Structure 1
Amino acid sequence: MIPFANDSFGNVYCFDYRQGKTPSLVAYDHEEGDIEPLCRTFSKLVAGIIEEDDDF
């Protein structure tokens, strides 16, 4: 996992390469050690953000 951002609580957002060459995106909870899947690819995450922005 390669971190690329964090939140105000110290949790980290990571590219997760554990399943192959194309990383999924996960959130790592630094207090609990939990890893939560967020999106299968970065481009899908960005596409979702753009779609939500179009609703305004």
Structure 2
Amino acid sequence: MSYIVNLSNRYRDGRMPDKVIPIADNVFGNEICFDFRKGLNSPSIVYWDYEITFEDPERALSPVCDSFTELVNKLYEQ
């Protein structure tokens, strides 16, 4: 849990939109995030591109999955 809190605190300077919470990162500074902007009950999963955010913060977000469950299911062969 502290990992997610530390990631969230890293972007409180306005680079990441409100209600978008990072949960994983890569070596390039990009993040996989929960996107709570449409509601608090079932966040979608988005990819946040660190470099694009300086040009256009909204364009820096790309949809990945509609839910965390969908993301986890994509990680395993079925």
| TM-based fold match above 0.5 | yes
> What letter is aligned with 2:51?
E
Unaligned runs of 5+ in 2: 1-19, 54-59
> What letter is aligned with 1:4?
I
Corresponding residue for residue 18 of structure 1? 37
Corresponding residue for residue 39 of structure 1? 65
Question: Identity over the aligned pairs, expressed in percent?
Answer: 42
Unaligned runs of 5+ in 1: none
RMSD value over aligned CA atoms? 1.1
Task: Give the count of matched residue pairs.
Answer: 52
Alpha-carbon distance, 1:24 to partner: 0.4
More strand by share: 1
> What letter is aligned with 2:34?
F
Cα distance in 2 for partners of 1:18, 1:3 equals: 13
Corresponding residue for residue 9 of structure 1? 28
